[in-house]
Structure 1
Amino acid sequence: LRFGECVAIQSKNIENNVLHINGTWDSVSNSKTTTKNIYSDRKITLPKRCLQIIDEYPLKYPKDKISKDNYIFIYKNNKPYNISVVNSRLKKINSSKNLSTHIFRHTHIALLTELGIPLKSIMERVGHNNPQTTLSIYSHVTEEMSKNIIEKLNEIDLLN
């Protein structure tokens, strides 16, 4: 998910383990707006761990601090988290990588690619229309993918 899509999730957007992404959080207007494009309005099935996080997260807040609009990922002001605050906190983590909210999107797509998920399925999951966007920007070759290439090449017996 894009950061704005994630923080714009309301409890009504999840039904039977399926998340309907129908908006994004605009930190300038401090409100939920339409998705980036028509392909960004989509439904995705959530894995078990995501559902656990979504179930547990509101328990961290007293009942009177829960967002009246039922946003799931809220901050002190009962509004969704601000991307600047989250990116600032990520930069404080001692890591060799330049962490930002967007790196998680890149990683998700790279891992799906590594798992052999078809390009069309990845595109639909992340809200892309153009395969070039997914391929050129997001499909990083991971160490595991490089290892798999060598394993596959070593399996080929050209002499028989």
Structure 2
Amino acid sequence: MLVGHCALLHITILADFQRKLNMAVRKRGKSWSARINWRDANGQLHQMEKGGFKTKVEAEQYSVEQQYLHTKGVDIESNPVFADYFHEWWTTFKKPHIRHETQKRYETNDKIIHQYLGDVKIKRIKRLNWQQFINDVCKTRSTTTVRLLNRQFRACVKNAVADGLITLDFTQGVNINGNDANTRKPVFLSYAEAQTLLRTAMDDRDPTVPSTYIIIAIILTGARVGEISALKWHNLDIKKHTIAIHHSYNSDIKELGPTKNTASYRTIRINTKLIDLLQEIKIDSKDGYIFQEAATGLPPANRTINSKLQVIMRHAKLDKKDFTIHSLRHVHVAILHHKSVDWMAISKRLGHQNLSMTLSVYAYYIDEDKRKSDKEIEKKLDDLFI
């Protein structure tokens, strides 16, 4: 009786769905096809047909599934190529509002998804397919790179869910384990080495060479090179001893852009010596940049700053492979850590989004603190027996 009741219920539901969508199944040769007709909110007629079903039951089941998706607000008619959908999504929603560096990352991922998934349509992609894709890109890319890649694609997939193209996020719960063998590790300096670098830069400074002053400013502020290069005189408050970091300068396209994230939009305190140093290079100009080359009135290119840094490193007799202008932020942290500045204060000063990000980057210093603490604990316990 129960089986008969379920069968009757199935027939009733199917008949109801067929009335709503005007569904029909028919045999075409050796296989079955399902045709679905419906009208949208404007009364426009739509039709969709799919064939290749082995049995009439399979065709009817497909029709019921489509009806269910339709009632859930899913666009059962549209099924774009995912790579094309990603391109349209990021160029429309992201490109007008992101930094040049972020745009280049989207462009790279755009090429990757076209290369790997080609003409695969979005409704064909399942979590298994996505995990296989991620496994493939993990073979030649670092874990961090793949995480950033998946984050961009996941935002796109969430948009597809909101658009009613699909019901589930197939990027959710993916396992990421990239190839970190060739990942460049951060280069840290000791406090003594940081002092040597700063003194050498001070000795090498020339008011006509803004690159050296940028290097000194990063050491004393921990700001990113783009943030320092973007500074204009109105960002400096001499009375309050602060600089307002509200932009980032891209030396490739010679334009100001937004900071890396909302946490990077900040105002930080600076010391008197840095204010005095900035006064040495003050030039009145149309654009008002603090650090500007005489010929252009614009900040120097990153490669120019980096070249100057390598000269200073040689003069300081500091042999550090892969030490770049970004490494100067680590120098600032080395100084503050040595002076026992709180990690939360350091995190805010660097413009990190949260403390955990700071602690993960500077785990080297955390481990160093733990080693010192362990020795102190050991000594204090031994003192009990004296």
Alignment TM-score, normalising by the size of structure 2 = 0.36
- More helix as a share of residues: 2
Corresponding position of 1:8: 230
Q: Which amino acid aligns with 1:8?
A: A
Separation (CA, whole Å) in 1 of partners of 2:261 and 2:364? 24
Task: Report if the CA contact (8 A) 1:24-1:35 is conserved.
Answer: yes
Instruction: Give the Å deviation of 1:71.
Output: 0.5
Q: Alpha-carbon deviations, 1:83-136, whole Å to 9, x = none?
A: 111112222342312332112100111221222211111111110112232122
Instruction: Give the Å deviation of 1:82.
Output: 1.1
Instruction: Give the Å deviation of 1:21.
Output: 0.4
Q: Percent identity?
A: 28
CA, structure 1 residues 78+139, in 2 after alignment: closer, same or farther (shift >3 Å)? farther
Q: State how 1:131-146 maps to structure 2 within 5 Å.
A: 131-138=355-362, 140-141=364-365
Separation (CA, whole Å) in 1 of partners of 2:343 and 2:226? 23
Q: Is 1:79 equivalent to 2:298 in the alignment?
A: yes
Task: Report if the CA contact (8 A) 2:236-2:244 is conserved.
Answer: yes
Q: Is 1:97 equivalent to 2:330 in the alignment?
A: no
Task: Report if the CA contact (8 A) 2:231-2:291 is conserved.
Answer: yes
Higher relative contact order (CA 8 A, sep 6+): 1
Q: Is 1:158 equivalent to 2:377 in the alignment?
A: no
Separation (CA, whole Å) in 2 of partners of 1:140 and 1:57? 36
Q: Which amino acid aligns with 1:119?
A: W
Corresponding position of 2:119: none
Root-mean-square deviation over aligned CA pairs: 2.5
Task: Report if the CA contact (8 A) 1:67-1:74 is conserved.
Answer: no
- Between Structure 1 and Structure 2, whose CA radius of gyration is higher? 2
Task: Report if the CA contact (8 A) 1:110-1:138 is conserved.
Answer: no
Q: State how 1:1-150 maps to structure 2 within 5 Å.
A: 1-15=223-237, 16-58=240-282, 66-76=284-294, 77-92=296-311, 93-94=313-314, 95-98=318-321, 99-138=323-362, 140-141=364-365, 149=373
Task: Report if the CA contact (8 A) 2:261-2:353 is conserved.
Answer: no
CA, structure 1 residues 47+150, in 2 after alignment: closer, same or farther (shift >3 Å)? farther
Task: Report if the CA contact (8 A) 2:247-2:265 is conserved.
Answer: yes
User: Alignment length, in residue pairs?
Assistant: 153
Alignment TM-score, normalising by the size of structure 1 = 0.81
